[in-house]
Amino acid sequence: MNAADGLDRAAVARLLVECGAVRFGSFVTKSGRESPYFVNLGEVNDGGQIAALGSMYAAAIQQLLAGIQYDCVFGPAYKAIPLAVATAMAAAARLRRPIGYCFDRKEPKPHGEGGMLVGYVPAAGERVLVVDDVITDGASKRAAVELLRGETGAEVVAMMVAVDRLEPAGDGTGETALARLEADLGVPARAMVDIRQVVAEVSVGGEVRAAVDAYLRGLAGG
């Protein structure tokens, strides 16, 4: 892999901030915490942006998950659906072999082809790589892996998200939610950038930097 083909974390951070997928201010997370940053990759809603992001995912997978072989990219509904499609397209071009994409329905379809999965439905033993937007507590990622294993018997080989919020696992161990997810699932779980890296790579005011640092210190209990 040429250096030019590798993961450019600064470019990832700039893209996410420029399109509004990472915002700074005052927000309430799903867990009820008040946070100075918010991550929503639903804001990546332009064809050029999603193509660029898919290329970044493919580069990150090749670099941060080196040696991992996969047949299909799965994105949990709804926000990760375009991520799975864009990543599969970029990965197929990069690897020069077919890469399927797949996503889930929120409820089973009772007619037609039926089932919970749409797209390339992996067979038992085929290798699936899960992509998603952000990790907070990891609950939706665990549900996705359970679904894939239960519905198809496929082998989930790894997981890649765009942003690690650096939230704690919540059990007092000091582990991040991402590290705990990796341990619980038994597969590598990586993020293209974490929120500290985003702040370091983009132009934000001193107040924002101070607020993010204070929030992260609070999460760590410091």
- pLDDT tens string 9-23: 999 999 999 999 999
- SS3 label, residue 181: helix
pLDDT at 2: 42
Domains by residue range for the chain, with CATH: 3-220 (3.40.50.2020)
Please give the average per-residue pLDDT across 105-130, as a whole number.
84
pLDDT at 3: 40
pLDDT digits (tens, 9 = 90+) for 39-62: 999 999 999 999 999 999 999 999
Residue with tokens 């072989």: 69
CA torsion, points 185, 169, 140, 156, in degrees to nearest 10? -20
d(CA 105, CA 58): 24
Residue 8: CB atoms within 10 A of its CB come to 17
Identity of the amino acid at 48 = G
pTM: 0.92
Which residues have a catalytic role annotated?
A: 109, 111
How many angstroms from the chain centroid is the CA of residue 180?
15
